[in-house]
């Protein structure tokens, strides 16, 4: 009885600990976030391990008329015709 209870507790502990290291569908892609600057900043900050990413410069693409955002991570972003973000 004592051994059976101990094995049960050990299995419970292993199952509990293994769940602690699994991310639950936390993965998100750049093209999946909403087409707002706030959503972009939040996504990039999360991807940058919590270090804040902010807008440095904003300009208008002369070919498309869409805004291009230069961010503090050194990349430039804009939305496509389907309102999905991509790196310029």
Structure confidence at residue 27 (pLDDT): 80
Half-sphere exposure of residue 14: CA atoms within 13 angstroms, side-chain side: 6
Q: pLDDT category, 5, cuts 50, 70, 90?
A: low
Two structure tokens written together for 11: 């299995």
- H/E stretch holding 15: helix 2-20
Number of neighbours of residue 45 by Cβ within 10 angstroms: 16
Q: 0.85 cut: is pTM over it?
A: no
pLDDT tens track for 41-87:
999 999 999 999 999 999 999 999 999 999 999 999 999 999 999 99
The C-alpha atoms of residue 5 and residue 23 are separated, in whole angstroms, by: 30
Please give the Cα distance from 87 to 68 (Å, whole number). 9
Confidence of residue 15 (pLDDT cuts 50, 70, 90): low
């Amino acid at each position: 009885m004592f051994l059976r209870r101990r094995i049960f507790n050990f299995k419970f502990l292993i199952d509990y600990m293994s769940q602690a290291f699994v991310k639950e569908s936390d993965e998100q892609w750049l093209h999946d976030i909403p087409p707002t600057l706030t959503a972009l900043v939040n996504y990039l900050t999360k991807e940058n391990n919590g270090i804040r990413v902010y807008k440095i410069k904003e300009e208008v693409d002369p070919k498309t008329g869409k805004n291009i955002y230069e961010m503090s991570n050194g990349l430039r972003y804009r939305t496509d015709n389907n309102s999905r973000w991509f790196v310029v």
